[in-house]
Structure 1
Amino acid sequence: MAMKNPRNEELITAFGQNVRKFRLQKGLTMNELALECDVEYGAISTIERGIVNCSISTAFAIAKALDTPIEKLLTVETIK
């Protein structure tokens, strides 16, 4: 039987904070980012708040829409 993958809460939270930071730097609303990524507004909201662990394809779409290397979105730092 396959084991369930553990959630890395620190990474999920940092990813969401980085998405918000880069989205605001680009001057986009959550709705505009959602439209660029072809996802629901609520998906961006829950990602930014660190509630959900999004798929690789969604993470890639977000990075592309933000014109940011995905590595920057996956950086775990204290964001102030």
Structure 2
Amino acid sequence: MDIGHKIKQLRIQKGLTLEELASRSELTKGFLSQMERNLTSPSIATLNDIVEALGSSLSEFFREDKEEQIVFHKKDFFVDERENYTVHWIVPNTQKNEMEPIMVELPQGGESFVMDPHSGEEFGYVAEGCVTLVCGEESHVIHKGETFYLSGKNRHYLKNEKKTTAKVIWVSTPPLF
């Protein structure tokens, strides 16, 4: 973080001159000028005085709001190729989110990972091919363009019993993959 630049931005936002900030923080105008140009660094106590004079706090000063990424491109994806399936992590770092979408690619005879019982819910959309959802003791055939939605109370997984590759967009909440 460029502390000097951030102090200058806050000072200008508040409409203060260097002289006014110096007076409020009981520091010299020269020291503040050098600090804003990164020619000197303040102690934590001095930085706290400056930030308080600007009507803020150290925690607020150091908090960095990251821009929320809304659109994800293929270059953002992570691909995990396994023997019986491939997982495309189509939204990176979703463990911190409320839900986690992936795309599962199942070749002929492929089976996904097994999801053990959990307290969440899951949604799937078959984008290509046809899959069988095995949920507890039941099996459900799901074709291209069809969806599934289930609670995680039963052990479940997908399998591809057809001759073509199947692709399924699978979303879990909370993140479990």
Confirm or deny a common fold (TM above 0.5).
yes
Q: How far 1:68 sits from its partner (Å)?
A: 1.6
Equivalent residues in 2 for 1:1-80 (5 A)? Answer: 11=1, 14-74=2-62
Hey, which of these two has a bigger chunk of helix by percent?
A: 1
TM-score by length of 2: 0.34
Q: Identity of aligned pairs, percent? A: 31
Task: Answer 1 or 2: higher relative contact order, Cα 8 Å, separation at least 6.
Answer: 1
Q: Structure 1-normalised TM-score?
A: 0.71
3-state DSSP of counterpart to 2:47: helix
Segments of structure 1 that go 5 or more residues without pairing to the other structure are 1-10
Stretches of 4+ aligned residues off by more than 2 angstroms: 71-76
8 A Cα contact 1:22 1:66, kept in partner = yes
Cα shift at 1:71: 3.5
What are the ranges of 5 or more consecutive residues in structure 2 without an aligned counterpart?
65-177
Q: Are the aligned partners of 1:15 and 1:74 in contact in 2 as well (CA < 8 Å)?
A: no
User: How many residue pairs get matched?
Assistant: 65
Cα RMSD (Å): 1.8
Larger Rg: 2
Deviations 1:9-65 (A, max 9, x none): xx4xx1000000000000000010011010110010001000101111110000100
Query: Could you say if the C-alpha distance between residues 74 and 51 of structure 1 is closer, same or farther in structure 2, counting changes exceeding 3 Å?
Result: farther
